[in-house]
Amino acid sequence: MKARLVLILLLFLLTCNLSCGHRMMMGYKVNEIQLTALYDDGTPAGGVEIEVQSDGKTIEKGVTDDKGAYILHPSKGTGDLKFVSYSAGHKAELELDLEQKEAEEQISRPLRAAAGLGYLLGIAGLSMIFISRKRS
């Protein structure tokens, strides 16, 4: 009987997922976007007009440097950005989604704490049952 109970307990523990003591979250923030404009042959497109659009509205205009680079410092909550470049007969477009979506908690913090406490109490209850049966 004891061997079966130990075997069942071991099987139960083996089927449980590994868990971590504390959950870790990571986030990001885009401080700068460096856009590079190049021609088909790979040469930098210097002096090209760049138009930055958000929600169909132009939010910034600029010109690339000699290396074809254009630097944008996006403001918070910019969301979708569309870059359009214009140069003598050439046009290119690039779209980026910078909207930072916060991770929604599936279960609220108090409910997770209660679930963890219930899990610990359940293990304690099972161990008490095992000990009381062992004594009798």
Listed as own residue / partner, the contacts of 38-41 with beta carbons closer than 8 Å and 24 or more positions apart are 38/68, 39/90
Q: Which CATH class is domain 33-97?
A: mainly beta
Q: State the pLDDT confidence band at 63, using cuts at 50, 70 and 90.
A: very high
62 and 106 Cβ atoms separated by less than 8 Å = no
Does residue 102 carry a pLDDT above 60?
no
Average pLDDT over residues 54-70: 89
The single residue listed with the structure tokens 């279960």 is 107
Check residue 99 and give its pLDDT: 62
Q: Estimate to the nearest angstrom the gap between the alpha carbon of 28 and the chain centroid.
A: 8
Helix (H) or strand (E) holding 106: none
Strand, helix or coil at 54?
A: strand
